[in-house]
Amino acid sequence: MSAPGQVNLLLASQSPRRQELLRLIGLPFAVKPVVIDESVRAGEPPLAYAQRLAREKAHLALELNPGTVVIAADTVVVDGGEALGKPLDAQAAAHMLRRLQRAPHSVLSALVVAGGNGAAPLPEHCSTDVVLRSFTEPELQRYIASGDPMDKAGAYAIQNAEFRPASNLGGCLANVIGLPLCHLTRALRQAGVAVAVDVPRACQAHLQYSCPVHQDILF
């Protein structure tokens, strides 16, 4: 097992939200985002799509940075079996939010840890059910005008303290933000990376959220 401080850990993402969450595991890491084609293939289910993107990001990052342990992830919002990406403009953001307000949906993250002990890349995935609150049209327009929806899958950030988009959450909150930490911890340990921090406790304290699923993941 690698000792904390000796791991050449790399996050293949420029997301500040993923970086914030990754700091909670207590290991130093570098940020080296990679660029891939994120187009959805014809007939590709949301889970397969997210898993493919995470896998392609991990493979490219490891190829560009040999000798590292790479973490790559992709998060999609799924409504009616369709993966919703980032809105192209304000009109698309408004359409997504109105659509998601009508019924519960899910947020799905796929992640891959590659490198480490030489084993095959380790995939994980996590799904969380989300119910949006009943926001008014002026609230929606103010949120869109803030710019926050434009780089978010599904056009919202669940952690936005002013808009407070969600009324109910079933599962892992870190997953909805973009990086399910218990799943990541499990994959890192399988890759030979020691994680000494009590990740569920650190995550719940940071997010101020009582997680109902962490014991099923890290038992």
- Could you list the active site residues? 74
- Give the 3-state DSSP-derived string for the chain, with helices as H, strands as E and coil as C: CECCCCCCEEECCCCHHHHHHHHHHCCCEEECCCCCCCCCCCCCCHHHHHHHHHHHHHHHHHHHCCCCEEEEEEEEEEECCEEECCCCCHHHHHHHHHHHHCCCEEEEEEEEEEECCCCCCEEEEEEEEEEECCCCHHHHHHHHHCCHHHHCHHHCCCCCCCCCCEEEEECCHHHHHCCCHHHHHHHHHHCCECCCCCHHHHHHHHHCCCCCCHHHHCC
C-alpha dihedral (96, 37, 173, 167), degrees to nearest 10? 0
